[in-house]
Amino acid sequence: MKKEARYLVPGDYMADPAVHVFNGKLYIYPSHDRESGIPENDNGDHFDMCDYHVFSMESIDGEVMDHGVALQVKDIPWAGRQLWDCDCAYKNGKYYLYFPLKDQTDIFRIGVAISDKPEGPFIPQPDPIRGSYSIDPAVFEDENGSFYMYFGGLWGGQLQRYRNNKAQESAVLRQGSEPALPARIVRLSDDMLGFAEEPKALVILDEKGQPLTAGDNQRRFFEASWMHKYNGKYYFSYSTGDTHRLCYAVGDNPYGPFTYQGVILTPVVGWTTHHAICEFKGKWYLFHHDSVPSGGRTWLRSLKVCELEYNADGTIKTIDGGGE
């Protein structure tokens, strides 16, 4: 299904959106692409991301307000480089921005910064979250008031370096018929500053009830976790990375297991695919990015939004990304 999509920030390169409704407005928390001068590689060294901007919209067709720099690398005490995909959550009058950042040894950790306003500026905590690793934190508030973080990414996202939440001496990427490396889920502590438990594997099953395999790269998890709830079901969506799809799986609770359902978005122009799904004023929307405005350069991506629709059985109608 081809959907009309709108570019949101034509004057700059923003990507990897997290989107929430706060105070009746849509707030967008993207990463910020900049020219790095570094040749493109699988570790993502060409992504020179030194700050975050926050954007808001009062209507889906209305003005996109740039609230300016909300957080930058130079203000984070433990910083090395590269602020990748972030997310924001609200609790008890405070807004918490969760961000992946390489520390001074070039290892990704997840940090948290706090503000009184959804647009920031955000003040970072002095240290990363204890026990955190990898990239792409996405925070979901369940109806009982519990907050969960979904995270992880392969290749440059470093997830393959860990087993049972412990770093290994050498990275191991599973192959072929081995179970795919899963995303992680963890419940956040009451103060929103740490993990309340050990992160757990988020298992995606196929139609026969078996875990997706590492060789099934048309369906297996790669990065870009997102969680939303629709008609009482939990929808875990994600990117397949090297096959450039956004896919989703459905479960009955935040931890799963989740059963694979299908493709949300076919490949876009540009290598990476990353997204958020949000309900606003009675309709559902898919926020994502592509590299059309930059001429297909994968490290200079532009934010887009289009409407997302469900079938009567709760499955999501596949959207044509316009790429390969």
CA distance 302 to 291: 6
Residue 191: count of CB within 10 angstroms of its CB? 12
Task: Please provide the DSSP assignment of 184-205 as one string.
Answer: EEEEBPTTSSSBSS--EEE-EE
Dihedral, 151, 271, 285, 60 alpha carbons, nearest 10: 120
> For the stretch 251-287, what's the b/e string if a residue is b when 16 or more beta carbons lie within 10 angstroms of its beta carbon?
beebbbbbbbbebbbbbbbbbbbbbbbbebeeeebbb
> What is the rounded CA–CA span in Å between residue 239 and residue 257?
18
Q: Is 7 helix (H, G, I), strand (E, B) or coil?
A: strand
Contact 227, 150 (CB under 8 A): yes
Q: Are 97 and 86 in contact, with CB atoms under 8 Å apart?
A: yes
The question of whether 87 is a catalytic residue gets the answer no
Nearest to 71 by CA among 29, 40, 105, 13: 29
Q: Return the number of other C-beta atoms located less than 10 Å from residue 145's C-beta.
A: 8
Q: Is 116 a catalytic residue?
A: no
In sequence order, what are the residues at sequence separation of 6 or more whose Cβ sits closer than 8 angstroms to the Cβ of residue 310? 230, 284, 316, 317
- What 3-state DSSP class applies to 13? coil
Q: Which of 33, 85, 87, 223 is catalytic?
A: 223
Which burial class, exposed, middle or buried, applies to 188 when counting CB atoms under 10 A from its CB (0-12, 13-18, 19+)? buried
Q: Catalytic amino acids?
A: 16, 223
